[in-house]
C-alpha cells in the first residue's frame, strides 16, 4: 500500500510537469481550476505590500485596477473571508454536528418508478458550480439526469417482472431501489462513458499537449532555460527540466517492475505509462472544468482496469497472479491521475500569483513522498479500529480447512476483542463461497475456522459479540474493482453495459456536446451534480444582469468572461470552496477520532432534530442551502458586502 501510494503519487506529478504549459498557461481562461482559483483569491485578499510586489503581472494589474476604482488595498478580502467563514461554519454544523440532512432525496413511483432527484447541500459544490459557470455545470448535471430520470427507471420498467437476478446484479430488479440499480448497472455504463470521453478529450488535446511538450523538449540542453531578450527564461515559466522528468519516470518504472509485491511485468509497466499519461491529462482537464471535488477518479480507475484486463485477456494472462498485476496497474494509475489533477490546482494557483513553477514542483514532490509515508499507517489504524471478529459459528458453522496448506505465521486479534481472546491463529484467505462467505478467517491448530475477520474498511458487520456497535468506513468502489478484474479475466464482464456508455459519449460528441463532462455526470450520483448545477444557474442569472450594465455591454465574450471571473460572486464562491474543504478536516476528526461523540450526536439528531430526520427533513434541509445560495446571488449582484468607494 505504501509503495503503490508513493510510486503513483510521484509518477502523477512528474507526468503533469510537461503538461503545465499546455493546460495551465495556454488554456488560461478556458480551464477554470476552481479550487486553484479559490486559493489564489484567498491569498490575494490577504497579501501584504511585499507579497504584492512579487505577484505576477496579471495579479498586479488587477490590484492596480481595483485601487484605481477606489476599492482599497485589499480588494475582495471581506468577501473571500466571509465566504470562507460561512462555508466552514455551514459544513461543520451540517455534517459534523448533524444540523440538517446532508443529502435530501425524493424517490418517485409510477410512471417513472425508481427515478429520483437528490442534492448534496454542500457549500463547496455550490461554489464550484458558480466558478465553472452554467455551461459545464448544466452538461454535467444533464448526465446525472439521464442516469436517474431515464436509465434507472428504464431498467426498473423492463426488469421488474423478472423473478431472477439479471447479471451483473445479485438480486431481482423488483427488489432494487435507485442506488441498487446504479451500483449494479449504471456504474458500468458510466465507466464506459468516462473511458470513451477521456480518449476523445485526449485526442482533442493532442495539438496543445504536443506544443507544450515540444517547448519542454527544447529546454533539455539548457537545463530548463530558453534564451529570451536578456538571455534568461522568465522566472514564472521555469519548470523542472524535462530530462530530469524523463529520468524520474524511468527510475519509478524500474522500481515498479522490480518490486515483488506488485507482480509487475514489462507489459504492465507499459500500460502504466500509457494509461497514466492518458488519465493524468484527463484528470487535469476535468479539474480545470469541474473541480477536484467532482473529478471521477474511480471512473478513470475503472477505465484503466477495463483496458488493462482486456489486454491481459488478449495475450492469455488469466491466472490468479495477473489479478494482482492488473490491480497494481489500476492502483498506480488511480493515484497518478488523482495527483495529476490536484497538482494542476496548485500550479494554477501559482500561475495566478506569479510563483516559480519549478519550486512548486519540487515542493509537491516532497509533499507526495511525505503523505504517502504517512498514509499507510493511518489507513491501517483506521481499518484496525473498526475490525469486527465474527464467530464462525454465526456465519459458517463447522467450517474447516487443511492447516498444512496455510502460511506458518500466526496472527491474533487486535482492538477491544483482544481482551476476550488472546490466542494465535493461522490465517486462511477463503476465495469461494462454499460452506461460508469468502474472506479472511482465523483458523486453530485443528483446522477449524474460529473467527471471520471483517475489515474496518468496506466491512459488512458492525456489531461485535458483546453488542457494541462499530462505524465502518465504506469503500464501495473496491467491490466494483474486484468484479471488473475477475469479470474480464474470467470473461464474465457485462460488456453490453460498458459499450452502451461508450456509445453515449460518442453520440454526445457527435452532437458537439463535451462528452467527458456529460460522462462524469452519468457516472457520479445525481446529488453530486445538482448543487454544481445550482451554482452554475446563479452565475447565469448574475452574468445576465451584469451584461446589461453600460460598462459591460460593449465587451467581447472573452473580455466579459475575464471580468466576470473577478467578480464578488467568484470571490465568495472561492471562500465557500475553501471553507467547506477545511471543514472536511473537522468532520474526519470527529468521525475517526471522537467516534463516541459522533455516535452520540447522530443518535440525538435522529431522535430530536426534524431537520435531520423525520417526515419533512428533506424539505427542511433545503432551507439552509437556499440561504447560502441566496446570499451568493445577492453578493454577486453587489447588493451585499459591496465595497465602499474611497473618497
The C-alpha atoms of residue 34 and residue 26 are separated, in whole angstroms, by 17
The C-alpha atoms of residue 391 and residue 451 are separated, in whole angstroms, by 5
547 φ, ψ (degrees, to nearest 5): -60, -25
pLDDT mean for each 10 residues of the chain (647 residues): 84 88 81 78 68 65 57 62 93 90 91 93 92 90 95 94 86 90 89 82 69 53 44 79 88 88 84 86 80 68 80 80 83 87 89 88 91 79 82 90 90 86 91 82 93 84 78 61 74 84 93 88 90 95 87 74 76 88 73 70 90 92 96 92 61
Q: State whether residue 165 is helix, strand or coil.
A: coil
Q: Are 599 and 592 in contact (CB under 8 A)?
A: no
| Closest of 190, 90, 144, 98 to residue 527, by C-alpha | 144
202: which residues sit within 8 A by CB, 6+ positions away?
Answer: 278, 281, 282
The C-alpha atoms of residue 561 and residue 566 are separated, in whole angstroms, by 9
Angle at 343 between CA 339 and CA 347, to 5 degrees: 175
DSSP3 helix / strand / coil % (the chain, rounded to 5): 65, 5, 30
- Position 96 scores a pLDDT of 84
- Position 647 scores a pLDDT of 46
Which residues are 424's β-sheet partners? 412
Which residue reads 529520468 in cell numbers? 247
Angle at 455 between CA 452 and CA 457, to 5 degrees: 160
- Position 273 scores a pLDDT of 87
The maximal CA–CA distance of the chain, rounded, in angstroms, is 89
Angle at 381 between CA 405 and CA 442, to 5 degrees: 25
Q: Are 347 and 31 in contact (CB under 8 A)?
A: no
- Position 623 scores a pLDDT of 96
558 grid coordinates:
472573452
The C-alpha atoms of residue 522 and residue 502 are separated, in whole angstroms, by 11
Which residue reads 452574468 in cell numbers? 543
**Inter-CA distances, 72 with 59, 63, 69, 422, 643, Å:** 15, 9, 8, 68, 9
List alpha helices for 386-434, DSSP H. Answer: 392-395
500 φ, ψ (degrees, to nearest 5): -60, -40
The C-alpha atoms of residue 30 and residue 22 are separated, in whole angstroms, by 12
- Position 176 scores a pLDDT of 92
E runs forming strands in 119-233? none
Q: Are 392 and 451 in contact (CB under 8 A)?
A: yes
166 φ, ψ (degrees, to nearest 5): -105, 115
Q: Are 552 and 563 in contact (CB under 8 A)?
A: yes
The C-alpha atoms of residue 5 and residue 372 are separated, in whole angstroms, by 5
The C-alpha atoms of residue 37 and residue 35 are separated, in whole angstroms, by 5
| Closest of 627, 622, 602 to residue 613, by C-alpha | 602
Quickly count: other Cβ atoms within 10 Å of residue 85's Cβ.
12
List alpha helices for 396-525, DSSP H. Answer: 476-489, 495-510, 515-523
- Position 72 scores a pLDDT of 41
Which residues are 105's β-sheet partners? 118
- Position 628 scores a pLDDT of 96
DSSP 403: G
Dihedral sign for Cα atoms in the order 551, 556, 559, 564: positive
Which residues are 389's β-sheet partners? 453
N-terminal to C-terminal alpha carbon distance within the chain:
61
The C-alpha atoms of residue 556 and residue 468 are separated, in whole angstroms, by 64
CB-neighbour burial class of residue 210 (10 A; exposed 0-12, middle 13-18, buried 19+): exposed
| Closest of 540, 525, 543, 502 to residue 136, by C-alpha | 540
Distance of CA 451 to the CA centre of its chain: 35
Angle at 18 between CA 14 and CA 24, to 5 degrees: 110
38: which residues sit within 8 A by CB, 6+ positions away?
Answer: 127, 131, 573, 574, 575, 577, 578
**Inter-CA distances, 543 with 539, 549, 562, 569, Å:** 6, 10, 12, 10
The C-alpha atoms of residue 95 and residue 17 are separated, in whole angstroms, by 36
| Closest of 147, 139, 145 to residue 188, by C-alpha | 147
Q: Are 411 and 387 in contact (CB under 8 A)?
A: no
641 grid coordinates:
458586502
212: which residues sit within 8 A by CB, 6+ positions away?
Answer: 18, 19, 20, 21, 22, 23, 26
The C-alpha atoms of residue 398 and residue 417 are separated, in whole angstroms, by 22
Q: Are 453 and 425 in contact (CB under 8 A)?
A: no
> How many residues are there in the chain?
647
What pTM was computed for the model? 0.71
The C-alpha atoms of residue 413 and residue 442 are separated, in whole angstroms, by 9
Amino acid at each position: 500500500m505504501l509503495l503503490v501510494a508513493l510510486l503513483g503519487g510521484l509518477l502523477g506529478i512528474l507526468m503533469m510537469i510537461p503538461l503545465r504549459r499546455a493546460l495551465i498557461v495556454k488554456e488560461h481562461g478556458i480551464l477554470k481550476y476552481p479550487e486553484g482559483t479559490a486559493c489564489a483569491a484567498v491569498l490575494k485578499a490577504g497579501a501584504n505590500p511585499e507579497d504584492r510586489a512579487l505577484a505576477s503581472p496579471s495579479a498586479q494589474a488587477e490590484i492596480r485596477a481595483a485601487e484605481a476604482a477606489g476599492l482599497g488595498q485589499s480588494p475582495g478580502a471581506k468577501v473571500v473571508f466571509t465566504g470562507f467563514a460561512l462555508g466552514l461554519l455551514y459544513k461543520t454544523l451540517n455534517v459534523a454536528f448533524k444540523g440538517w440532512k446532508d443529502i435530501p432525496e425524493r424517490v418517485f413511483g409510477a410512471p417513472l418508478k425508481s427515478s429520483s432527484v437528490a442534492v448534496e447541500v454542500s457549500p463547496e459544490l455550490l461554489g464550484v458550480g458558480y466558478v465553472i459557470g452554467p455551461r459545464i455545470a448544466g452538461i454535467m448535471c444533464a448526465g446525472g439526469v439521464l442516469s436517474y430520470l431515464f436509465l434507472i427507471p428504464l431498467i426498473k420498467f423492463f426488469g421488474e417482472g423478472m423473478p431472477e437476478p439479471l447479471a451483473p446484479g445479485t438480486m431481482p430488479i423488483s427488489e432494487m431501489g435507485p442506488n441498487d440499480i446504479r451500483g449494479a448497472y449504471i456504474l458500468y455504463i458510466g465507466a464506459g462513458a468516462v473511458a470513451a470521453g477521456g480518449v476523445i478529450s485526449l485526442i482533442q488535446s493532442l495539438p496543445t499537449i504536443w506544443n507544450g511538450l515540444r517547448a519542454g523538449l527544447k529546454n533539455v540542453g539548457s537545463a530548463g532555460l530558453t534564451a529570451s531578450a536578456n538571455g534568461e527564461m522568465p522566472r514564472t515559466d521555469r519548470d523542472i527540466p524535462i530530462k530530469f522528468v524523463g529520468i524520474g519516470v524511468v527510475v519509478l518504472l524500474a522500481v515498479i517492475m522490480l518490486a515483488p509485491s506488485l507482480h509487475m511485468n514489462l507489459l504492465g509497466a507499459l500500460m502504466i505509462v500509457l494509461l497514466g499519461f492518458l488519465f493524468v491529462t484527463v484528470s487535469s482537464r476535468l479539474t480545470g472544468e469541474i473541480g477536484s471535488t467532482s473529478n471521477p477518479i474511480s471512473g478513470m480507475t475503472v477505465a484503466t482496469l477495463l483496458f488493462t484486463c482486456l489486454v491481459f485477456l488478449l495475450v492469455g494472462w488469466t491466472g490468479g497472479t495477473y489479478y494482482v498485476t492488473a490491480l497494481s496497474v489500476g492502483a498506480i494509475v488511480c493515484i497518478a491521475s488523482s495527483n495529476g489533477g490536484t497538482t494542476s490546482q496548485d500550479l494554477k494557483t501559482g500561475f495566478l500569483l506569479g510563483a516559480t513553477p519549478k519550486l512548486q514542483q519540487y515542493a509537491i514532490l516532497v509533499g507526495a513522498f511525505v503523505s504517502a509515508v504517512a498514509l499507510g499507517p493511518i489507513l491501517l489504524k483506521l481499518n484496525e479500529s473498526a475490525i469486527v471478529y465474527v464467530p464462525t459459528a454465526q456465519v459458517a458453522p463447522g467450517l474447516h480447512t487443511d492447516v498444512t496448506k496455510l502460511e506458518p505465521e500466526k496472527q491474533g486479534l487486535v482492538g477491544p476483542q483482544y481482551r476476550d481472546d488472546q490466542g494465535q491463529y493461522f490465517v486462511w484467505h477463503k476465495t469461494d463461497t462454499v460452506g461460508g462467505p469468502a474472506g479472511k478467517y482465523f483458523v486453530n491448530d485443528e483446522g477449524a475456522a474460529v473467527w471471520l475477520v471483517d475489515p474496518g474498511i468496506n466491512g459488512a458487520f458492525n456489531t461485535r459479540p458483546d453488542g457494541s456497535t462499530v462505524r465502518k468506513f465504506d469503500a464501495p468502489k473496491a467491490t466494483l474493482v474486484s468484479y471488473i478484474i475477475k469479470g474480464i479475466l474470467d470473461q464474465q464482464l457485462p460488456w453490453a453495459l460498458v459499450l452502451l456508455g461508450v456509445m453515449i459519449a460518442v453520440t454526445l460528441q457527435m452532437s458537439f456536446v463535451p462528452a467527458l463532462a456529460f460522462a462524469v455526470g452519468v457516472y457520479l450520483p445525481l446529488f453530486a451534480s445538482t448543487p454544481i448545477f445550482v451554482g452554475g444557474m446563479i452565475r447565469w442569472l448574475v452574468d445576465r444582469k451584469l451584461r446589461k450594465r453600460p460598462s459591460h455591454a460593449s465587451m467581447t465574450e472573452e473580455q466579459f468572461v475575464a471580468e466576470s471571473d473577478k467578480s464578488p460572486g467568484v470571490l465568495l464562491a472561492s471562500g465557500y470552496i475553501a471553507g467547506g474543504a477545511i471543514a472536511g478536516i473537522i468532520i474526519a476528526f470527529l468521525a475517526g477520532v471522537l467516534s463516541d461523540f459522533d455516535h452520540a450526536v447522530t443518535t440525538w439528531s435522529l431522535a430530536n432534530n426534524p431537520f435531520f430526520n423525520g417526515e419533512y427533513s428533506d424539505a427542511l434541509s433545503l432551507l439552509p442551502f437556499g440561504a447560502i445560495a441566496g446570499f451568493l446571488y445577492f453578493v454577486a449582484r453587489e447588493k451585499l458586502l459591496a465595497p465602499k468607494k474611497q473618497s
